[in-house]
Structures are given as structure tokens and as C-alpha cells.
Structure 1
């Protein structure tokens, strides 16, 4: 049986990293979209997607007792983001599900902003890492949508289906 925290993390992160790749690819030729922000004090879209990629690794590697690697240096442009997303995907693909045995109770010390926390692996994934990943992915999506990119919920999750031209 596959360890539950593997099932709850790696396949989910991989699915949504693929969605992020498609969203970033849709911006090709529109660097203005990747530089846009929802509010002046928020990350721009490129940083939102980069942060999501970071949280995919930050959310899994501590569960298996591995350090989170530095991403290769890359610009915050289309090519740089695609490289970050590819690096995150390749790192997740290399994880062995068996290494997640017992991860639920492993203590994970980490920082949340300026807070120093210690959480069980289960709480770490479900209450910190996954919500932060989804937050940054959602903010990146929202910036692109606000910037005029014709995307919707089906582009975000690849599960919903709406007829052409449908709007709420």
C-alpha cells in the first residue's frame, strides 16, 4: 500500500505543476502578464508560480527527511519559470513512495513567515505546505485572468468542463 502522505502530496503537486506549466506557457509572448500583480504589495505572477514550485518541494522533501534543494538560478521570465517547474517536477518524480513511510508522525521544524514552527508531517502537509502551494498557484492564476488571459476553472484544475463562451 502506498503511504498516505505520498498519495496526498506527490501526485497532487505533479498534477498542479503541470497546470502551472500550461498557464505559464499561455503567457509566452506576454511578459507583461508575468510581471503583473493583484495589489502593489503582492508578488507578481512570475513569483507566485515560482513560489508554488518551491512549495511543491518544500512540502514533500522534509516528509522524507531530505533537504530542500536550491532551484537553479533562472530569470523570472517564461523560460526561467518553465525551468523551475521542470526542476520541481523532476525532483518529485525521483522520490520513492516507500520513503514516506511514517512521515505522518515525523516532526517537521520550519518557518512560516517569521514564525518558527514544529508540526507533525501530517499537519505540515495538510495545514501548511499544501495550502501555501495552492495559494501561490491561485494568485498566479488570478493575476493572469485579471490581465486578460482567457482562462477559467478548467484551465486551473483540468477537471471542470464548461461549454465554449460560458461565463458566470
Structure 2
């Protein structure tokens, strides 16, 4: 059976690494088609949805909050603004370094700890750590991660399911 650590920190790490891969594919697409990278970073699926840049920002935000809540790391958040491609890469890299510093013993055994967290503007709550992870953290991360993928597909970037799964299944032998 997987440990609480294995169900959290490595999963967040793989999602962020796949975001980097998707952004690089978007960059390649922009260069090969003459599309503006800035246009891709600012793209959104609907007027009332976050841009691609903010989708990255939200996944970074959730990973940083999780590192604080689950492993007691210092909570360092950045303003959720429209970031350039370079700022997206930088935010992901900083967050990956933070996650790399978390060890299994920092997280394992905390499944029943009660955590207080925010689920939206002016909406605070508390729940057991396992419920925070399974009912809020992971669904939220994957919502924004998938939306980033969908924005790129909508903008014409040639991506497929294996691009999305990327680092999630990287250690598997595909035949």
C-alpha cells in the first residue's frame, strides 16, 4: 500500500514536471507556427476562466500550500498574476525545489491531523489531512492541470493523452 507521502509529494512533483513539458511543447509550437508565446500564455477557454498562466500559478499555489500544511514548510506564496512564460518556468522550478526537500517522514503519519485551509475567496474550512488531499488538493490540482492542457489543445498545440500522462507514467515500460 502506498504511503501518505507517496500519494502527495511525488504526485505534485510529477504534475509540475509535466506542466514544464507541456509549456516547452507550447514554446516549440509557437516557434514552428509563428504563434506568439504571449498569446498562448494569456489564452483561456472562456472569458470567465483563468488564463494558461494562472492555471500554472494555481497548481504552484496548491503545491506550496500542501508543502506547508502536510510537511510544515514555510508558506511562501506569490501574487497570482498573469505571468510570462519565463515566470511560469521559474515558479514551477522554485516549487519543485521546495517539494524535493520534503521527505517521507515529514508527511507520513499525518493522515488524521486536522488541517485548516482555504477553498476559495472567503471560504475557510478544516478537515483531516487525508480528506484535504483526496477531496480537495488532488482534484483541484488536476482541474487546473487539465485546464492548462485543454487550453493548449484549444490553441492548436499538438498534444495527446501521453503528453498529459507524461511524468505520471514515465517509469513504466510502454510496449
- Number of residues paired by the alignment? 159
Superposed, 1:29-48 pairs within 5 Å as 29=30, 30-48=37-55
User: Which of 70, 77, 92 is equivalent to 2:77?
Assistant: 70
User: Which of 80, 93, 106 is equivalent to 1:99?
Assistant: 106
Instruction: Compute the TM-score of the two structures, normalised by the length of structure 2.
Output: 0.83
CA contact (8 A) 1:74 1:83 kept: no
State whether structure 2 residue 119 is matched by structure 1 residue 120.
Answer: no
Stretches of structure 2 that go unaligned for 5 or more consecutive residues are 31-36, 171-175
User: Could you say what the CA RMSD is over the residues aligned between the two structures, in angstroms?
Assistant: 2.2
**Superimposed CA distance per residue, residues 4-54 of structure 1 (whole angstroms, 9 cap, x where no aligned partner):** 221101111111111000111222252211111100000001110111121
Stretches of structure 1 that go unaligned for 5 or more consecutive residues are 161-168
* Deviating more after overlay: 106-115 vs 85-94: 106-115
State whether structure 2 residue 161 is matched by structure 1 residue 153.
Answer: yes
Instruction: Compute the TM-score of the two structures, normalised by the length of structure 1.
Output: 0.86
**Superimposed CA distance per residue, residues 59-117 of structure 1 (whole angstroms, 9 cap, x where no aligned partner):** 23201233421249996111000001101100000112111132101111011113221
Question: What residue is the counterpart of 1:6 in the other structure?
Answer: 5
User: What SS does the corresponding residue of 1:59 show, helix, strand or coil?
Assistant: helix
Deviating 4+ runs (over 3 angstroms): 71-75
User: What SS does the corresponding residue of 2:13 show, helix, strand or coil?
Assistant: helix
Counterpart CA distance in 2 for 1:79 and 1:116 is 32
